[in-house]
């Protein structure tokens, strides 16, 4: 089975991209915790953080850091939640960092998180555009 995120990186699978450079691709999660939930993936296929080359860690987390600032600014959130699974609970076996907008009282508790849905593709485009603009 081909890697879904590698398909998004290569452009064969569509995504709402918010950041695209030589190191990473960042795009909206299709099953977000909240609108503006972004996934940041290294372009090179690796499954877990320990597999990422040391030279790749800085560029990945520089982009995660920028998105941790941009996502709340774009969504009106008070802050962000940044997380990564390594194998356990990793729904796609390609390293990815979640950047999730957070607001006090948003209902996110523990690890039983409610998921939201975008109304449609137009709403996803609009949220992706706001995050790109905030970057």
Catalytic residues: 96
Cα–Cα distance measured from residue 32 to residue 127, given in angstroms and rounded to the nearest whole number: 12
Q: Where are the alpha helices (DSSP H) in 24-111?
A: 54-75
Residue 18 Cα to chain centre, angstroms: 9
Rg (CA), the chain: 14
Q: What is the DSSP letter of 16?
A: -
């Amino acid at each position: 089975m081909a890697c879904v995120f590698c398909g998004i990186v290569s452009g064969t699978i569509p995504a709402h991209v918010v950041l695209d450079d030589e190191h990473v691709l960042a795009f909206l999660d299709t099953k977000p915790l909240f609108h503006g939930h972004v996934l940041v993936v290294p372009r090179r296929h690796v499954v877990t953080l320990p597999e990422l080359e040391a030279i790749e860690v800085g560029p990945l987390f520089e982009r995660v850091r920028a998105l941790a600032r941009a996502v709340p600014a774009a969504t009106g959130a008070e802050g962000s939640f940044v997380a990564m699974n390594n194998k356990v609970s990793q729904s796609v076996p390609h390293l990815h960092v979640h950047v999730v907008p957070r607001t006090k009282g948003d209902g996110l508790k523990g690890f039983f998180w409610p998921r939201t849905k975008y109304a449609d593709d137009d709403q996803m485009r609009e949220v992706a555009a706001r995050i790109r603009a905030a970057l």
